[in-house]
Amino acid sequence: MTTILIETHKVFEGEQRKYRHYSETLDCDMVFSLFLPKQMDNMLTDLVWWLSGLTCTDDNFSQKGAFQKYASHHQLAVVMPDTSPRGTNVADDENWDLGQGAGFYLNATQEPWAKNYRMYDYLTKELPELVYTLIPNFSGKESIMGHSMGGHGALVIGLKNPERYRSISAFAPILNPSQVPWGKKAFTAYLGSDEKAWAAWDATSLIAETAIAPSILISQGTADAFYEVQLNEEAFLQVADGKKVNYEKLVGYDHSYFTIASFIEEHLQFHKDYLK
């Protein structure tokens, strides 16, 4: 697999990099960003995955997340994949909440999406094998986090693979996508009209069936315009009773990267506590 380094910037003594490669899983060229902390005294480096939300790319978090200082302090590598397959030969939709930029981190089964939209397999199988080779002194330990649609993705991937990820965190995640407009639209297109098939990609259904889940931190702004309709937590928290879930309301904060930048230190400290 050929990986091309297309951009690099020094930041807090580490490096913020951007790569391009061809994905066999998605059948298209893909880009991803990777922050590498400075290597000190052969210290082992842990890995945190960041999954972004609707309309975003790998650039959103790398440029607006304000995480590099804290990742450098904790000796964390942070990988930022794109949010969907992309390209002129990849299926798309005229609306912003479906198609390119809106992959929902699942494996599509319906046409025209099934050919390319296999983000779950890409993120859990193909991309990790590539990323591992790029991290000097990789410890082998991983956690996962995300925002909005990416928060949904982090929870689904983390809950499906509890033995792999030490912890999960999310900002304003879509916790019950099978019951809200964003999720219903995406799931119908990607997975078909049989709602039974949706449960495998719904964090509320997954945590209800998971005997032992990784520890979870969720931060939700009270001024988030999407909260009431798309991001409500009641069903998730009800079935998550007994699991290690810390759900916090951030008074006055909204859905933007200003909120993420304000609380990213807390989230990375949370992950480091479980990665140690």
SS3 3: strand
Give dist(CA 68, CA 62) in Å, integer.
8
Catalytic choice (178, 224, 267, 271): 224
Catalytic choice (72, 84, 143, 148): 148
Strand pairing partners for 218? 170, 247
Instruction: Single out the residue of 246, 70, 61 nearest to residue 147, CA to CA.
Output: 61
267 catalytic residue (yes or no): no
Tokens at residue 19, please? 């790569």
Cβ(20)–Cβ(6) below 8 Å: yes
Q: Where are the alpha helices (DSSP H) in the chain?
A: 59-64, 68-73, 119-121, 127-132, 149-160, 181-191, 203-209, 227-230, 234-239, 257-275
Residues in the chain: 276
One-letter identity of residue 181? P
Cβ(68)–Cβ(76) below 8 Å: no
139 catalytic residue (yes or no): no
Give dist(CA 197, CA 169) in Å, integer.
25
Instruction: Single out the residue of 206, 22, 37 nearest to residue 126, CA to CA.
Output: 22
224 catalytic residue (yes or no): yes
SS3 155: helix
The residues that are catalytic are 148, 224, 255
